[in-house]
Amino acid sequence: MNLYDHNNTLTAHHIKADREADAKVPDNLWTKCPKCETTVLTDDLDQYQTCPNCFYGFRISARQRLNWLVDQFTEFDTDLQTTDLLNFPGYDQKLAKAQQRTKLNDSVLTGTAMIGQEKFGLGIMDPTFIIGSLGTVTGEKITRLFERSTEQELPVVLFTASGGARMQEGIMSLMQMAKVSAAVKRHSQAGLLYVVVLTDPTTGGVTASFAMQGDITLAEPHALVGFAGRRVIEQMMHQKIPRDLQDAETLLSHGFIDRIVRRQDEKQTLQWLLKYGG
Protein backbone atom coordinates (compact mmCIF):
# COMPACT_ATOMS: atom_id res chain seq x y z
CA MET A 1 0.00 0.00 0.00
CA ASN A 2 1.34 3.44 -0.85
CA LEU A 3 0.65 6.26 1.52
CA TYR A 4 1.09 8.81 -1.26
CA ASP A 5 0.77 8.65 -4.96
CA HIS A 6 4.35 8.05 -6.12
CA ASN A 7 4.29 10.79 -8.74
CA ASN A 8 3.38 13.34 -6.15
CA THR A 9 6.47 12.75 -4.06
CA LEU A 10 9.26 15.27 -4.10
CA THR A 11 12.02 12.74 -4.86
CA ALA A 12 10.46 11.37 -7.99
CA HIS A 13 9.51 14.70 -9.39
CA HIS A 14 11.81 17.53 -8.51
CA ILE A 15 15.14 16.57 -7.02
CA LYS A 16 16.08 13.82 -9.46
CA ALA A 17 15.21 16.05 -12.38
CA ASP A 18 17.98 18.54 -11.68
CA ARG A 19 20.78 16.51 -13.21
CA GLU A 20 23.04 19.51 -13.70
CA ALA A 21 23.09 20.33 -10.02
CA ASP A 22 23.49 16.68 -9.19
CA ALA A 23 26.59 16.35 -11.33
CA LYS A 24 28.33 19.12 -9.42
CA VAL A 25 28.16 17.27 -6.14
CA PRO A 26 30.91 14.66 -5.86
CA ASP A 27 29.62 11.11 -5.60
CA ASN A 28 31.81 10.22 -2.71
CA LEU A 29 33.05 13.17 -0.74
CA TRP A 30 34.52 10.79 1.81
CA THR A 31 36.10 7.42 1.19
CA LYS A 32 36.31 4.82 3.90
CA CYS A 33 39.08 2.23 3.70
CA PRO A 34 37.37 -1.19 3.75
CA LYS A 35 40.39 -2.71 5.49
CA CYS A 36 41.36 -0.35 8.32
CA GLU A 37 38.22 1.80 8.24
CA THR A 38 40.15 5.05 8.14
CA THR A 39 38.06 7.81 6.56
CA VAL A 40 39.79 9.93 3.96
CA LEU A 41 38.65 13.00 2.06
CA THR A 42 38.34 11.55 -1.44
CA ASP A 43 40.16 14.56 -2.92
CA ASP A 44 43.15 13.75 -0.75
CA LEU A 45 43.62 10.39 -2.47
CA ASP A 46 46.30 10.81 -5.11
CA GLN A 47 46.59 9.05 -8.46
CA TYR A 48 47.46 5.77 -6.72
CA GLN A 49 44.15 5.62 -4.82
CA THR A 50 45.63 4.02 -1.72
CA CYS A 51 44.69 4.31 1.92
CA PRO A 52 47.16 6.69 3.64
CA ASN A 53 46.97 4.59 6.79
CA CYS A 54 47.29 0.93 5.72
CA PHE A 55 48.22 1.35 2.04
CA TYR A 56 45.33 -0.80 0.83
CA GLY A 57 44.83 -0.13 -2.89
CA PHE A 58 41.26 0.80 -3.74
CA ARG A 59 39.77 -0.98 -6.75
CA ILE A 60 40.64 1.02 -9.85
CA SER A 61 40.02 0.48 -13.53
CA ALA A 62 42.72 -0.92 -15.81
CA ARG A 63 43.07 2.38 -17.67
CA GLN A 64 43.45 4.33 -14.43
CA ARG A 65 46.28 2.01 -13.43
CA LEU A 66 47.93 2.25 -16.80
CA ASN A 67 48.23 6.04 -16.40
CA TRP A 68 50.91 5.86 -13.75
CA LEU A 69 52.37 2.41 -14.31
CA VAL A 70 54.29 2.59 -17.57
CA ASP A 71 56.10 5.02 -19.86
CA GLN A 72 54.79 3.62 -23.14
CA PHE A 73 51.97 1.31 -24.11
CA THR A 74 50.59 -0.25 -27.30
CA GLU A 75 47.25 -1.95 -26.87
CA PHE A 76 46.25 -5.35 -28.37
CA ASP A 77 42.99 -6.97 -29.37
CA THR A 78 40.49 -4.21 -28.77
CA ASP A 79 38.11 -5.71 -31.34
CA LEU A 80 37.38 -9.13 -29.82
CA GLN A 81 33.77 -9.63 -28.77
CA THR A 82 32.22 -12.38 -26.72
CA THR A 83 29.05 -14.20 -27.70
CA ASP A 84 26.21 -14.91 -25.32
CA LEU A 85 26.51 -18.68 -25.45
CA LEU A 86 24.01 -19.60 -22.77
CA ASN A 87 21.52 -16.85 -23.66
CA PHE A 88 21.94 -15.77 -20.10
CA PRO A 89 19.21 -13.29 -19.07
CA GLY A 90 20.50 -9.72 -19.04
CA TYR A 91 24.09 -10.63 -19.99
CA ASP A 92 24.17 -8.50 -23.17
CA GLN A 93 23.16 -5.38 -21.28
CA LYS A 94 25.59 -6.11 -18.46
CA LEU A 95 28.45 -6.44 -20.96
CA ALA A 96 27.49 -3.27 -22.82
CA LYS A 97 27.39 -1.31 -19.60
CA ALA A 98 30.76 -2.61 -18.44
CA GLN A 99 32.29 -1.88 -21.85
CA GLN A 100 31.01 1.64 -21.82
CA ARG A 101 32.23 2.30 -18.29
CA THR A 102 35.71 0.80 -18.62
CA LYS A 103 36.43 1.54 -22.29
CA LEU A 104 37.48 -2.08 -22.62
CA ASN A 105 36.01 -4.91 -24.72
CA ASP A 106 36.32 -7.30 -21.77
CA SER A 107 37.79 -7.58 -18.29
CA VAL A 108 41.46 -7.27 -19.21
CA LEU A 109 43.64 -4.69 -20.92
CA THR A 110 46.63 -6.15 -22.79
CA GLY A 111 49.53 -4.85 -24.82
CA THR A 112 53.26 -4.20 -24.97
CA ALA A 113 54.70 -1.69 -22.54
CA MET A 114 57.93 0.03 -21.61
CA ILE A 115 59.19 1.12 -18.21
CA GLY A 116 62.43 2.97 -18.87
CA GLN A 117 64.38 0.73 -21.22
CA GLU A 118 62.53 -2.45 -20.24
CA LYS A 119 60.07 -3.76 -22.81
CA PHE A 120 57.47 -6.34 -21.74
CA GLY A 121 54.02 -7.82 -22.34
CA LEU A 122 51.50 -6.25 -19.96
CA GLY A 123 48.05 -7.38 -18.86
CA ILE A 124 45.86 -5.51 -16.38
CA MET A 125 42.61 -7.09 -15.25
CA ASP A 126 39.84 -4.64 -14.47
CA PRO A 127 37.89 -5.24 -11.23
CA THR A 128 35.23 -2.79 -12.40
CA PHE A 129 34.37 -4.97 -15.44
CA ILE A 130 31.93 -7.59 -14.05
CA ILE A 131 34.38 -7.97 -11.11
CA GLY A 132 37.16 -8.92 -13.52
CA SER A 133 35.51 -12.26 -14.16
CA LEU A 134 37.12 -14.66 -16.58
CA GLY A 135 35.16 -14.63 -19.82
CA THR A 136 36.15 -16.15 -23.16
CA VAL A 137 37.51 -12.85 -24.46
CA THR A 138 39.44 -12.26 -21.23
CA GLY A 139 41.04 -15.69 -21.64
CA GLU A 140 41.72 -15.14 -25.32
CA LYS A 141 43.40 -11.77 -24.72
CA ILE A 142 45.63 -13.17 -21.97
CA THR A 143 46.50 -16.23 -24.09
CA ARG A 144 47.47 -14.00 -27.02
CA LEU A 145 49.50 -11.82 -24.63
CA PHE A 146 51.57 -14.86 -23.64
CA GLU A 147 51.82 -16.20 -27.19
CA ARG A 148 52.98 -12.86 -28.62
CA SER A 149 55.39 -12.34 -25.75
CA THR A 150 56.83 -15.83 -26.32
CA GLU A 151 57.28 -15.05 -30.00
CA GLN A 152 58.92 -11.70 -29.30
CA GLU A 153 60.93 -13.09 -26.36
CA LEU A 154 59.43 -10.64 -23.91
CA PRO A 155 58.72 -11.08 -20.20
CA VAL A 156 55.11 -10.74 -19.06
CA VAL A 157 53.70 -8.71 -16.16
CA LEU A 158 50.08 -9.46 -15.28
CA PHE A 159 47.95 -7.60 -12.74
CA THR A 160 45.20 -9.93 -11.59
CA ALA A 161 41.80 -8.84 -10.25
CA SER A 162 38.90 -11.23 -10.52
CA GLY A 163 35.83 -12.59 -8.84
CA GLY A 164 36.66 -15.85 -10.66
CA ALA A 165 34.87 -17.62 -13.47
CA ARG A 166 32.20 -15.76 -15.43
CA MET A 167 29.12 -17.82 -14.78
CA GLN A 168 27.24 -16.25 -17.69
CA GLU A 169 29.66 -18.08 -20.01
CA GLY A 170 29.43 -21.42 -18.22
CA ILE A 171 31.92 -24.16 -19.05
CA MET A 172 33.67 -21.98 -21.66
CA SER A 173 34.90 -19.84 -18.78
CA LEU A 174 36.41 -22.94 -17.14
CA MET A 175 38.19 -23.85 -20.37
CA GLN A 176 39.95 -20.46 -20.32
CA MET A 177 41.87 -21.63 -17.25
CA ALA A 178 43.37 -24.51 -19.25
CA LYS A 179 43.91 -22.40 -22.37
CA VAL A 180 45.77 -19.60 -20.60
CA SER A 181 47.78 -22.03 -18.44
CA ALA A 182 49.07 -23.87 -21.51
CA ALA A 183 50.26 -20.56 -23.00
CA VAL A 184 51.90 -19.59 -19.68
CA LYS A 185 53.76 -22.92 -19.67
CA ARG A 186 55.09 -22.43 -23.21
CA HIS A 187 56.25 -18.92 -22.29
CA SER A 188 57.98 -20.35 -19.24
CA GLN A 189 59.65 -23.11 -21.26
CA ALA A 190 61.10 -20.44 -23.52
CA GLY A 191 62.99 -19.20 -20.44
CA LEU A 192 60.98 -16.00 -20.13
CA LEU A 193 60.02 -14.22 -16.92
CA TYR A 194 56.41 -14.00 -15.73
CA VAL A 195 55.65 -11.59 -12.88
CA VAL A 196 52.19 -11.62 -11.30
CA VAL A 197 50.86 -8.70 -9.26
CA LEU A 198 47.85 -9.81 -7.21
CA THR A 199 45.39 -6.98 -6.63
CA ASP A 200 42.10 -6.76 -4.77
CA PRO A 201 40.26 -9.13 -5.28
CA THR A 202 41.91 -12.17 -6.89
CA THR A 203 39.79 -15.25 -6.34
CA GLY A 204 38.29 -18.46 -7.75
CA GLY A 205 39.34 -19.72 -11.16
CA VAL A 206 41.90 -16.98 -11.67
CA THR A 207 43.65 -17.87 -8.41
CA ALA A 208 43.38 -21.52 -9.44
CA SER A 209 45.22 -20.82 -12.70
CA PHE A 210 47.39 -18.00 -14.05
CA ALA A 211 47.45 -15.88 -10.86
CA MET A 212 49.41 -18.65 -9.15
CA GLN A 213 51.73 -19.58 -12.03
CA GLY A 214 54.20 -16.71 -11.97
CA ASP A 215 57.96 -16.96 -11.47
CA ILE A 216 57.64 -14.05 -9.08
CA THR A 217 54.41 -13.21 -7.27
CA LEU A 218 53.83 -9.72 -5.87
CA ALA A 219 50.71 -8.42 -4.15
CA GLU A 220 49.27 -5.09 -3.12
CA PRO A 221 48.78 -4.45 0.63
CA HIS A 222 45.70 -6.19 2.07
CA ALA A 223 44.54 -7.42 -1.34
CA LEU A 224 42.01 -10.24 -0.97
CA VAL A 225 43.54 -13.36 -2.50
CA GLY A 226 41.85 -16.73 -2.21
CA PHE A 227 40.19 -19.66 -3.88
CA ALA A 228 36.75 -20.02 -2.28
CA GLY A 229 34.49 -17.18 -1.19
CA ARG A 230 34.24 -16.33 2.50
CA ARG A 231 30.54 -17.27 2.66
CA VAL A 232 31.18 -20.66 1.07
CA ILE A 233 34.00 -21.41 3.52
CA GLU A 234 31.90 -20.38 6.51
CA GLN A 235 28.99 -22.53 5.36
CA MET A 236 31.34 -25.48 4.95
CA MET A 237 33.06 -24.96 8.31
CA HIS A 238 29.92 -23.91 10.22
CA GLN A 239 31.97 -21.20 11.87
CA LYS A 240 33.35 -17.72 11.25
CA ILE A 241 36.76 -17.61 9.62
CA PRO A 242 39.51 -15.14 10.57
CA ARG A 243 39.02 -11.72 8.99
CA ASP A 244 42.49 -11.74 7.48
CA LEU A 245 42.45 -15.36 6.19
CA GLN A 246 42.61 -14.22 2.57
CA ASP A 247 44.69 -11.06 3.02
CA ALA A 248 47.84 -10.88 0.91
CA GLU A 249 49.85 -10.59 4.15
CA THR A 250 48.50 -13.98 5.33
CA LEU A 251 49.43 -15.60 2.03
CA LEU A 252 52.89 -14.04 2.32
CA SER A 253 53.35 -15.69 5.71
CA HIS A 254 52.18 -19.03 4.27
CA GLY A 255 54.71 -18.83 1.47
CA PHE A 256 52.50 -18.14 -1.55
CA ILE A 257 53.54 -14.54 -2.22
CA ASP A 258 57.07 -13.18 -2.68
CA ARG A 259 56.59 -9.55 -1.70
CA ILE A 260 53.92 -7.02 -0.80
CA VAL A 261 54.40 -3.86 -2.85
CA ARG A 262 52.67 -0.51 -2.41
CA ARG A 263 51.32 1.10 -5.56
CA GLN A 264 53.71 4.02 -5.51
CA ASP A 265 56.62 1.54 -5.55
CA GLU A 266 55.29 -0.80 -8.23
CA LYS A 267 56.84 0.87 -11.25
CA GLN A 268 60.30 0.88 -9.74
CA THR A 269 59.97 -2.69 -8.40
CA LEU A 270 58.84 -4.00 -11.79
CA GLN A 271 61.66 -2.17 -13.55
CA TRP A 272 64.17 -3.83 -11.23
CA LEU A 273 62.64 -7.29 -11.68
CA LEU A 274 62.45 -6.92 -15.46
CA LYS A 275 66.12 -5.97 -15.50
CA TYR A 276 67.49 -8.52 -13.05
CA GLY A 277 64.77 -11.07 -12.29
CA GLY A 278 64.57 -13.01 -15.54
Partner 1 sequence: MAKSAGQIVAASRAEQKITGEQIVHSLLSDFMELHAGGIGSDNPAVIGGIGLFHGQPVTVIAIDKGDTIEDKVNKHFGCPTPAGYRKSLHLMKQAAKFHRPVLCFVNTPGAYPGQEAEETGQGAAIAQNILEMSQLPIPIITVIFGEGGSGGALALASGDQVWMLENSTYSILSPEGFASILWKDSSRADEAAQIMQLTPHDLQQKHIIDGILEEPNDHRQVVQNIDRVLQQQLSQLQKMPVEDLLKQRYERYRKF
Q: Give the up-direction half-sphere exposure of residue 46: CA atoms within 13 A in the CB hemisphere.
A: 6
- Closest to partner 1 by CB, 147 vs 265, is 147
- Closest to partner 1 by CB, 50 vs 203, is 203
Please tell me what DSSP assigns to residue 153: T
DSSP assignment of 176-234, as one string? Answer: HHHHHHHHHHHHHHTT--EEEEEEEEE-HHHHTTGGG--SEEEE-TT-BB-SS-HHHHH
Determine whether the annotation assigns residue 54 to a binding site: yes
Minimal distance in Å, beta carbon 4 to partner 1?
30
Q: Count CB-CB contacts under 10 A for residue 36.
A: 13
Judging by DSSP bridges, how do beta strands 72-75 and 108-115 pair with one another? antiparallel
Max Cα distance, the chain (Å): 71
Which positions touch partner 1 (CB under 8 A)?
85-89, 136, 139, 143, 165, 167, 170-179, 181-182, 184-186, 189, 204-205, 207-213, 225-229, 232-233, 236-237, 241-242, 245-246, 250, 254, 256
- Closest to partner 1 by CB, 61 vs 246, is 246
Minimal distance in Å, beta carbon 89 to partner 1?
7
- Closest to partner 1 by CB, 96 vs 245, is 245
Determine whether the annotation assigns residue 136 to a binding site: no
Rg of the chain, C-alpha, whole Å: 20
DSSP element (H, E) containing 97: helix 91-102
Minimal distance in Å, beta carbon 240 to partner 1?
10
Minimal distance in Å, beta carbon 114 to partner 1?
28
- Closest to partner 1 by CB, 26 vs 242, is 242
Binding residues: 33, 36, 51, 54
Binding residues for Zn(2+): 33, 36, 51, 54
